[in-house]
Amino acid sequence: MGSRIICQSCGMPMDSEEDFGTEAGGAPSGDYCTHCYQGGAFTAPEITIDEMAKICGGIMSRLYDIPRAMAEEFSKEQLSSLRRWAGREVAICGSCGMPLLRDEDFGTEADGAPSAEYCTHCYQDGRFTEPDLTEEEAILKYAPMVASNLGIPPLRAEEMVRQYLLTLPRWRG
Ligand SMILES: [Zn+2]
Ligand SMILES: [Zn+2]
């Protein structure tokens, strides 16, 4: 768990050093991005999840041409699995990104124990349910769902899913 490094406040992927926020002593934060967290404190300590969803949704709406209200709703859903808003670290499936909120959401290892990294749809008995799925196939598999959820053209959805999958351990390579 925790191999996917996204800001636990806004969901921004943190790829390079300057993306990370800072702790009080100046060390990089392991959880939060530079926009959200500076010197060991949130830059906007009073912000609510709805306000954050408006900001993130606004960016998404511009980036991907998604109707504003839909983008905000989608953002709020994504934000609600992050530590700042969930109050705990919610694991997400490292293959499809589904939040692992309930026991039955987790996949299983070969010995029947719950998987720490993957959901029940992607991972059963210690193996991927679709072991040969390539990144391109995954994009084509998930994009239609995203397109219809967000009311955006399929090509936009593919672009969005591609960006998103790159943040997940299975596809990050
Ligand atoms: Zn952030
Ligand atoms: Zn999954």
- CA 12 to centroid of ligand 1, rounded, Å: 6
Residues 139 and 173 in one domain: yes
Is the residue at 21 inside a domain? Answer: no
Residues 147 and 121 in one domain: no
Is the residue at 86 inside a domain? Answer: no
- CA 93 to centroid of ligand 2, rounded, Å: 5
43-80: per-residue pLDDT in tens?
999 999 999 999 999 998 998 888 999 999 989 988 99
Res. 1: pLDDT tops 60 = no
From 49, 44, 40, 39, select the one nearest 11 (Cα to Cα).
Answer: 49
Is the residue at 10 inside a domain? Answer: no
122-141: per-residue pLDDT in tens?
999 999 999 999 999 999 99
* pLDDT (0 to 100) of residue 9: 97
Residues 100 and 112 in one domain: yes
> What predicted TM-score, i.e. pTM, was given to this entire model?
0.77
Looking at the structure of the chain, the number of domains it has is 2
Boundaries of domain holding 153: 133-173
- CA 107 to centroid of ligand 2, rounded, Å: 8
